[in-house]
Structure 1
């Protein structure tokens, strides 16, 4: 009897291409629209005045042709002169934006992090450090999961930690596999934890603080409600992660990442079970943690972002390479620094490609600028207009649903806040929902869906570091994602019924 062959899930790049085709179809069906923009000022969480360019929801208008009818332009198959056609989405997506964000800045960021850790891995300091950790934590290694999950969730809540999880995944994936878990467990305690903290935060400067400022709500207000929310979400995420990790520990083949984790298991096999953690290895690890402390200080104290953090990681890698050569770690020579950087960048190249191609989806829809005609602006205006058509509590829930879906296109927390909150805040007034509730709906919808959308550069970078494909990740995470949405719905409805101010 012939066995049925399992259905093979399409690769992430194939899925993105399918979405690009769907987006191109929408350009023939939905007319383009635009908003006027204005600059608003608000006091940020540091007590400083901050300015943000936002759309004016009352100014939406369709782009019209000579006959006065709304234009459904329809994107062509190919465009010259640097314009975007369907087949241009790869190149235009890769080079879009600037060094401060998606796509070109994030692509460079991912490659530099990969290169830096390629040098670090060439020294074998991480391998030897893992053995030292295992040796020192025998009998108490189970504490790694709750401690790490809590720390990363707090990082997401306090300073909006996200892209930094890529680097930590590179460190923790081999550790967790050596401890008998899998790469998915490592992703859960790093990236997933940061996004739970990001979503449920009471002080995240890139999400809740900007959304409150734009909405005219006192920045950092309603903190007690959000602190309770953060605790509940963090404990729920920890429970789910711990339950999954325990299952994998008992039966390693139950892991969806069992095959891809073979790369790390084979590396384990090449490493002596006897820890040989020398002074040189210790210096590399010290340089790594000193660099990470420098990054955290820079983000918190000086709002360092992609350009600064990328350079800091490069410095960490360079320092590790110099130490490796001086101490002859793994017989390193000067050219091994360059080779390690190249190999490390190559490992994260697929994740960088996904980031660029995913940005192409937004470009096909006309881009994310509110004052330029696009299909995305029309979708934003029409979906936002539905929010005041329901009873107050249901309107609040619809805002959560809308923000969750819209996050597929605009993953940046501050970017989504600038686009959606000027629309949602006045609609909340019309629907009988407080603006504070609208901010709750925004932060939960924005943050939690970062855990699954392939347009999230931080997610794809972390998956690339763990060698887990997005399709495998979706198989694992979709049930958890549904549970998170139900929990988020509960908090949004509770805030609505409480008339949270």
Structure 2
């Protein structure tokens, strides 16, 4: 009977391939267009920032020799480094630079995975975890609200995202040892950061940039947003806690029970470390803690990003390996540092490849540059025209809906702000909606769908660290997405009604 209920779930690679085919179809049916851009400056704190943004009224279709709009239908295969349907995987993987998607993020994922392969090989985390569980018996349920709050705060204050990936490695075995599953671990780490990111009152990578582009005071409207952040953080905490309690009572209900067996076997294999918690273990855990502090300091104070953070975690893994060898933790030898680094990187190889494939979707559509003739620019322009003729409430809600969908193609908060806010801000004036509401629609749409879209490199890396397949994750996450979208819609509508400014 159970077999009859089992439904085939397509692999993530299969899903992306069909999305590529759909994107290719769009290139044959939607004409391409482009915008002009100009530099704007805005003040954030005591410093002046500048950014290149599109000029809304400058949109024009690419015209052919006959004077009609051109459709750049992508071919099946393109030589000489161009992007065709069958080129999407390679071209996606090698696109971009070390500062972002895809090649930089792929390298980041592999380096962080390798570093934590070394850390986990020492067995120090398992030893410290078991000691912690013994010391906090009866209080272990607090891990969910406490961590959810802290990670959400990190997302709200300094735009925490990539920094959450290493924490997934640490938290997954802890929550599984407590009787929960890896979904709970991803929810209280990465998902919490994105809820904070989306509902933030001061996120420098979304709210601050969007407000600067919209030409309203940067970090204004904080009272409304702080209340919103508290609401969504509480909502996420309660949703996660309710699910976690259900799984603890009946583990068979977990959709990731089979993949979580990997972590259970690791915990069982580390059974002999029950009573082991010596100086070597303490030094490894101290190295991890100092590494996290170094990373957060670098992001907040120095503006460190992917290259620096990857190197910081490489150092953390290397130092942990050296400590493991010196103190012979789990019988470690010098070669085990290399072997465990390779094994840790290979565990995230699937997630890294997905990042490249997902970027291939954007390349098939022509890219996301506002000054190049692409399908995305045409879609952006036409959505703007549609929104401008509707009532304020409907216009604001459609802005939120559009930003949520557009986030599939441009998951970078600052990138999406540069593309959409120059268009949405003046449209808000026409529709009778304040620009503050337009920014609100942007930040909620940009933040929340990062929890499910396969084009989000950080999300794919986070669930990859938890060994969760995207199709399984999406099936579980879709209900939560519905709740977030409903509540986000209510906040956008309420903001219009109260004249949020």
Q: Fold-level match, TM-score > 0.5?
A: yes
What are the Cα deviations for residues 119-169 of structure 1, in whole angstroms up to 9, with x where unaligned? 101111111111111111111001111000000000000000111111000
Instruction: Return the alpha-carbon distance in structure 2 between the equivalents of residues 402 and 278 of structure 1.
Output: 54
What are the Cα deviations for residues 59-90 of structure 1, in whole angstroms up to 9, with x where unaligned? 10011111110001210001111110000000
Which residue is equivalent to 1:81?
Answer: 80
Which residue is equivalent to 1:204?
Answer: 203
Q: Does 1:386 align with 2:386?
A: yes
Which residue is equivalent to 2:440?
Answer: 440
**What root-mean-square deviation, in Å, do the aligned CA atoms of Structure 1 and Structure 2 show?**
1.1
Residue 271 of structure 1: how far off its partner (Å):
1.7
Residue 477 of structure 1: how far off its partner (Å):
1.1
Instruction: Return the alpha-carbon distance in structure 2 between the equivalents of residues 344 and 384 of structure 1.
Output: 45
Residue 3 of structure 1: how far off its partner (Å):
5.5
Which residue is equivalent to 2:318?
Answer: 318
In the alignment, structure 2 segments of 5+ residues that lack a partner are none
Which residue is equivalent to 2:376?
Answer: 376
Which residue is equivalent to 1:400?
Answer: 400
Which residue is equivalent to 1:178?
Answer: 177
After TM superposition, list the pairs within 5 Å mapping 1:69-468 onto structure 2.
Answer: 69-272=68-271, 274-468=274-468
Give SS of 2:257's match. Answer: coil
Quickly say closer, same or farther: Cα 1:3–1:117, change in 2 above 3 A: closer
Give SS of 2:57's match. Answer: strand
Instruction: Return the alpha-carbon distance in structure 2 between the equivalents of residues 102 and 132 of structure 1.
Output: 39
Single out whichever of 377-386 and 219-228 deviates more from structure 2: 377-386
Instruction: Return the alpha-carbon distance in structure 1 between the equivalents of residues 7 and 275 of structure 2.
Output: 43
Q: Does 1:493 align with 2:478?
A: no
In the alignment, structure 1 segments of 5+ residues that lack a partner are none
Instruction: Return the alpha-carbon distance in structure 2 between the equivalents of residues 400 and 5 of structure 1.
Output: 36
Instruction: Return the alpha-carbon distance in structure 2 between the equivalents of residues 462 and 133 of structure 1.
Output: 24
Instruction: Return the alpha-carbon distance in structure 2 between the equivalents of residues 393 and 73 of structure 1.
Output: 36
Instruction: Return the alpha-carbon distance in structure 1 between the equivalents of residues 351 and 172 of structure 2.
Output: 16
Give SS of 2:322's match. Answer: helix
Give SS of 2:55's match. Answer: strand
Single out whichever of 262-271 and 415-424 deviates more from structure 2: 262-271
Residue 5 of structure 1: how far off its partner (Å):
6.3
What are the Cα deviations for residues 7-44 of structure 1, in whole angstroms up to 9, with x where unaligned? 21000111000000000000000001000111111112
Instruction: Return the alpha-carbon distance in structure 2 between the equivalents of residues 151 and 432 of structure 1.
Output: 37
Give SS of 2:500's match. Answer: coil
Quickly say closer, same or farther: Cα 1:96–1:135, change in 2 above 3 A: same
Quickly say closer, same or farther: Cα 1:390–1:325, change in 2 above 3 A: same
What are the Cα deviations for residues 239-273 of structure 1, in whole angstroms up to 9, with x where unaligned? 10000000001001111111110001111111226
Instruction: Return the alpha-carbon distance in structure 1 between the equivalents of residues 123 and 3 of structure 2.
Output: 44
Residue 4 of structure 1: how far off its partner (Å):
2.7
After TM superposition, list the pairs within 5 Å mapping 1:2-13 onto structure 2.
Answer: 4=4, 6-13=6-13
Instruction: Return the alpha-carbon distance in structure 2 between the equivalents of residues 2 and 281 of structure 1.
Output: 44
What are the Cα deviations for residues 449-488 of structure 1, in whole angstroms up to 9, with x where unaligned? 0011111011100000000111111121111110100100
| TM-score, normalised relative to structure 1 | 0.99
Instruction: Return the alpha-carbon distance in structure 2 between the equivalents of residues 2 and 34 of structure 1.
Output: 53
Give SS of 2:369's match. Answer: coil
